[in-house]
């Protein structure tokens, strides 16, 4: 009797128990496989040179704190606000006892022409770079028709084109040295497009696609690519988000205020670097179900998004 015929011959509750058994065995096997795989190739962070973009606050600052607690001595912090970065260094010096002070490189990601030179500056600090964390980012609010192209461009430059340029500047040295890791902090909106966030979602979808392509191209280079897709994080992202005319949104959205702690996300990202993971999805059940809807039942997803747009139109166009 074939396996299918045997399953068909069972009572419905026996079939259900059989499927649950297969599922449980499969997921237990997968967990054991992942644990064994991690143990075999864990990265030792303390020896590495790690650069974080957008370290002036939010998740970037939390990443610096987390790395410092892991006794990473050679941290390069980049951002636009030198004062905020200097304050962060003073704070970090209290965390890591005798470790050397992190180094600051001022960098405005909107000035794309300067980024190849900034990549050289990053390399010059310690003569190498082991981990590059593309964390800096900006969000936006507003409908496509109400958003100036200058805003689309600013979001795209910050969230997508600048990481591409910095990667092109730093990746060759990682490949030559025979290893490294690049982390792209994307968002669940890099995988799900929701209304009134077109520029942000498009920039994060681009980031995801770029690094998925690159990961495959680096199959034999020992350079890991980690794309991180968090849901809401409790930071000032929504305060600084751009509205259609380029002015700041200036409000803490409820979803952001109730989001994950930045430190929780930072610790998960650091673990992913250590464990050489390729992708991290940090969100609740609803976005996970939405991901399934988007890929397997797109019409249902489009319907839900249209409903959401209708509900939010007065708020988002204001
Ligand atoms: N918060 C969330 O709900 C959430 C959810 C998913 C993903 N993310 C992603 O997480 C990352 C960190 O965001 P966050 O939540 O920590 O927000 P945040 O507190 O607003 O931090 C954003 C960082 O990016 C920097 N930045 C923005 N534009 C820049 C530019 N032109 N040049 C250089 N640096 C620039 C900011 O520096 P300045 O101080 O100079 O502005 C700041 O350090 C972003 O990529 C974001 O898309 C956030």
Asked, for residue 27, whether it belongs to a domain, the answer is no
pLDDT reading at 97 higher than 80 = no
Asked, for residue 193, whether it belongs to a domain, the answer is yes
- In 41-140, which ranges are continuous DSSP H helix? 58-69, 82-95, 115-126
Q: Which atom of ligand 1 is nearest to the CA of 200?
A: 47
- Residue 192 is predicted with a pLDDT of 98
CATH at 177:
3.40.50.720
- Residue 179 is predicted with a pLDDT of 97
Per-residue pLDDT tens over the stretch 38-70: 556 899 999 999 999 999 999 999 999 999 999
How far apart CA 155 and CA 141 sit, in angstroms, is 11
Pairing of strands 131-134, 103-106: unpaired
What count of other Cβ atoms lies within 10 Å of the Cβ of residue 149? 8
Asked, for residue 65, whether it belongs to a domain, the answer is yes
- Tell me how far the alpha carbon of residue 270 lies from the centroid of ligand 1, in angstroms: 17
- Tell me how far the alpha carbon of residue 200 lies from the centroid of ligand 1, in angstroms: 12
Asked, for residue 300, whether it belongs to a domain, the answer is no
Asked, for residue 312, whether it belongs to a domain, the answer is no
Total domains in the chain come to 1
How far apart CA 55 and CA 135 sit, in angstroms, is 8
Is residue 244 classed exposed, middle or buried when 0-12, 13-18 and 19+ CB atoms within 10 A define those classes?
Answer: buried
Asked, for residue 152, whether it belongs to a domain, the answer is yes
By residue range, what is the domain housing residue 221? 43-284
Per-residue pLDDT tens over the stretch 180-220: 999 999 999 999 999 999 999 999 999 999 999 999 999 99
- Tell me how far the alpha carbon of residue 58 lies from the centroid of ligand 1, in angstroms: 7
- Residue 7 is predicted with a pLDDT of 81
In eight-state DSSP terms, residue 99 is: P
Mean pLDDT of the chain: 93
Helix and strand element counts for the chain (H, E): 13, 7
How far apart CA 52 and CA 132 sit, in angstroms, is 6
Supply the residue whose CA is at minimum distance from atom 46 of ligand 1. Answer: 137
Q: Which atom of ligand 1 is nearest to the CA of 189?
A: 6
- Residue 6 is predicted with a pLDDT of 81
Residue 235 CB contacts under 8 Å (≥ 6 apart), including other chains: 57, 58, 59, 256, 259, 262
How far apart CA 184 and CA 186 sit, in angstroms, is 6
């Amino acid at each position: 009797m074939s396996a299918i015929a045997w399953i068909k011959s069972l009572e419905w509750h026996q079939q259900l128990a059989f499927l649950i058994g297969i599922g449980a065995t499969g997921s237990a096997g997968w967990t054991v496989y992942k644990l064994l795989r991690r143990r075999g190739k864990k990265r030792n962070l303390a020896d590495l040179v790690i650069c974080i973009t957008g370290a002036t606050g939010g998740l970037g600052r939390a990443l610096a704190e987390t790395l410092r607690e892991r006794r990473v001595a050679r941290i390069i912090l980049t951002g636009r606000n030198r004062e905020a970065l200097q304050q962060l260094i003073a704070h970090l010096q209290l965390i890591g006892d005798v470790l050397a002070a992190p180094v600051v490189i001022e960098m405005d990601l909107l000035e794309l022409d300067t980024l190849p030179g900034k990549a050289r500056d990053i390399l010059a600090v310690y003569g190498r770079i082991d981990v590059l964390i593309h964390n800096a980012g900006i969000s936006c609010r507003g409908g496509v028709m109400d958003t100036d192209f200058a805003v689309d461009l600013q979001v795209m430059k910050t969230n997508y084109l600048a990481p591409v340029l910095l990667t092109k500047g730093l990746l060759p040295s990682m490949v030559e040295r025979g290893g490294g890791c690049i982390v792209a902090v994307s968002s669940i909106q890099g995988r799900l497009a929701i209304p009134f966030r077109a520029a942000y979602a498009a920039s994060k979808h681009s980031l995801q696609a770029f690094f998925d392509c690159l990961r495959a191209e680096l199959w034999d280079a020992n350079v890991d690519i980690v794309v991180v897709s968090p849901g809401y994080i409790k930071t000032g992202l929504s305060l600084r988000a751009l509205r259609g005319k380029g002015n700041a949104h200036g409000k803490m959205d409820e979803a952001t205020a109730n989001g994950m702690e930045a430190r929780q996300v930072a610790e998960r990202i650091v673990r992913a670097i250590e464990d050489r993971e390729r992708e991290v999805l940090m969100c609740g059940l609803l976005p996970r179900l939405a991901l399934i809807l988007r890929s397997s039942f797109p019409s249902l997803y489009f319907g839900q998004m249209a409903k959401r747009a209708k509900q939010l139109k007065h708020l988002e166009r204001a």
